[in-house]
Amino acid sequence: MPAMLTDVFRGHPIHLPHSHHQPDFTSLRELPDSYSWTPKDDILFAAAAAPSPPTAVDETIPFIDLDHPDAANQIGHACRTWGAFQIANHGVPLRLLQDIEFLTGSLFGLPVQRKLKAARSETGVSGYGVARIASFFNKQMWSEGFTITGSPLNDFRKLWPQLHLNYCDIVEEYEERMKKLASKLMWLALSSLGVSEEDVQWASLNSDSNWAQAALQLNHYPVCPQPDRAMGLAAHTDSTLLTILYQNNTAGLQVFRDDLGWVTVPPVPGSLVVNVGDLFHILSNGLFKSVLHRARVNQTRARLSVAFLWGPQSDIKISPVPKLVSPVDTPLYRSVTWTEYLQTKATHFNKALSMIRNHKEE
């Protein structure tokens, strides 16, 4: 049995530079110093868009209708240029999106003491706590999270002694739908590069995606007294093949483009955001860009998001598709399993990709 996502951080306990306790966000009228970010705490904190012509002001990630006959090429283009896009006609029922949003709101609305009953351990993946990347920053993020890997039954029983089974059903249905959608999106994106199932042996063995696994990350960004100085979730790329993100009707997600700076992804009710993760960047031999993104907060509305983080089972080695590597070149990256990559990231954070890059012989 290959190691599961649940075990990846056994040897990589999280060490937070600040107090481990979640504050009671609702009682704070002023941003405590430990939550006040400056460019010193994150070099890209204030990276504004470069002065640009007026037409570029509203530029944001592409919005793609999956029923459009040219959807595959549009997805491929978005993966190469932005590393992110939004989708409509994705087939996930609106009712299910509303259910997962309700579940998320209800979870974070519980009293802190109850949430802490399901606190994530230092070496664990699942449960309530701050994002794992918190250990790489001196300042704290204005958010709380809940990660689900495998069955949420044990944790949910602690959170909702009465209603946990209903909530487990919602998570199960959501993950089922997301798995199918993620696999569809991956093949659409690869087909735009002329890559088909025969070219990716490990993925084509099983058409029902039994080679994949996922984590669900629920995020809550409470209303913030001084949003300009706060950071909801600091800039990062996801380690996944693909991440499918649902955001409630409150802006906050931003993606980074070298030429544009931070660009806001406007919430479009009923649509989903798709991010290219580091493993897809590796698989595509660097053609698809894993998108640097972050979440900002605001003064009037709490924000919720649900990220479906999707990648291969832990025994699968990901390496650049041979078809995408020129015969005279070496592949850009060495092969790596998701577990190995997550462990590299747990130590080296945003340098993880460069750690597994093949460097040209001089």
Ligand X SMILES: C=C1C[C@]23C[C@@]1(O)CC[C@H]2[C@@]12CCC[C@@](C)(C(=O)O1)[C@H]2[C@@H]3C(=O)O
Ligand Y SMILES: O=C(O)CCC(=O)C(=O)O
Taking the least distance from each CB to Fe ion, the nearer of 31 and 133 is: 133
Choose the binding region for ligand Y from 17-25, 99-107, 171-179, 245-253 (rule: CB under 6 A).
Answer: 245-253
Query: Which CB atom, from 72 or from 174, has the smaller least distance to ligand X?
Result: 174
* HSE, side-chain direction, 13 A CA sphere, residue 315: 6
How many residues in the chain?
362
Distance in Å, CB of 350 to ligand X, minimum:
10
Nearest CB to ligand Y, comparing residues 60 and 319? 60
Pick the closer one to Fe ion by CB: 192 or 239. 239
When asked if residue 305 is in the footprint of ligand Y (CB under 6 A), the reply is yes
Provide, rounded to whole angstroms, the least separation between the CB of residue 70 and ligand Y. Answer: 27
Residue 229 is among the residues annotated as catalytic for this protein: no
Question: Does 253 help bind ligand Y (rule: CB under 6 A)?
Answer: yes
Contact 241, 312 (CB under 8 A): yes
**Under a CB-based contact definition with an 8 Å cutoff, are residues 189 and 77 in contact?**
no
For 190, the enclosing helix (H) or strand (E) is: helix 164-191
Q: Could you tell me if 224 and 230 are in contact, meaning their C-beta atoms sit under 8 angstroms apart?
A: yes
Distances (CA, A) of 135 to 20, 208, 318, 334: 10, 36, 27, 27
- Distance, in Å, from the CA atom of 129 to the CA atom of 156, rounded to the nearest integer, reads 15
| Segment 237 to 256, residues that bind Fe ion, using CB under 5 A | 238
Partner from ligand X, ligand Y, Fe ion, none binding residue 283, C-beta < 5-8 Å depending on class: none
* From 74, 147, 305, 339, residue interacting with ligand X (rule: CB under 6 A): 147
Radius of gyration, alpha carbons of the chain: 20
Residues 6+ apart with CB under 8 A from 350: 236, 237
Q: At 80, is the secondary structure helix, strand, or coil?
A: helix
Which residues 259-298 are close enough to bind ligand Y by CB under 6 A? 293, 295
Structural tokens at position 258: 């070298």
Cβ atoms within 10 A of the Cβ of 83, count? 24
State the minimum distance, in angstroms, from the CB of residue 321 to ligand Y.
25
The catalytic residue among 132, 303, 334, 357 is: 303
Phi first, then psi: give them for residue 74, nearest 5 degrees.
-65, -40
Q: Is 21 helix (H, G, I), strand (E, B) or coil?
A: coil
Closer of 8 and 182 to ligand X (Cβ): 8
CB 328, min distance to ligand X, A: 33
295 binds, among ligand Y, Fe ion, ligand X, none (CB under 5 to 8 A by kind): ligand Y
285 binds, among ligand X, Fe ion, ligand Y, none (CB under 5 to 8 A by kind): none
- On the 0-12 / 13-18 / 19+ scale of CB atoms within 10 A, 201 is exposed
Residue 74 interacts, among Fe ion, ligand Y, ligand X, none and using kind-specific CB cut-offs from 5 to 8 Å, with none
The tokens for 281 are: 């960047």
Cα–Cα dist 56/78, whole Å: 16
Question: Minimum distance from CB of 277 to Fe ion (Å)?
Answer: 8
Residue 337 contacts ligand X per CB under 6 A: no
- The residue with tokens 């649940």 is 6
Residue (192 or 239) nearer to ligand X, CB:
239
3-state secondary structure of 182: helix
Which of 230, 214, 109 has the alpha carbon at shortest distance from 151? 214
Stretch that binds ligand X, among 61-69, 131-139, 251-259, 283-291 (CB under 6 A): 131-139
Q: Which of residues 103-122 bind ligand Y (CB under 6 A)?
A: none
CB of 119 to Fe ion, least distance (A): 21
Query: Position 101: which residue type?
Result: E
Give contact residues for ligand X (rule: CB under 6 A): 5, 8, 125, 131-133, 147, 215, 217, 236, 238-240, 307, 309, 342, 345
Give contact residues for ligand Y (rule: CB under 6 A): 217, 219, 233, 238, 245, 247, 252-253, 293, 295, 305, 307
Catalytic amino acids?
Answer: 303
Give contact residues for Fe ion (rule: CB under 5 A): 238
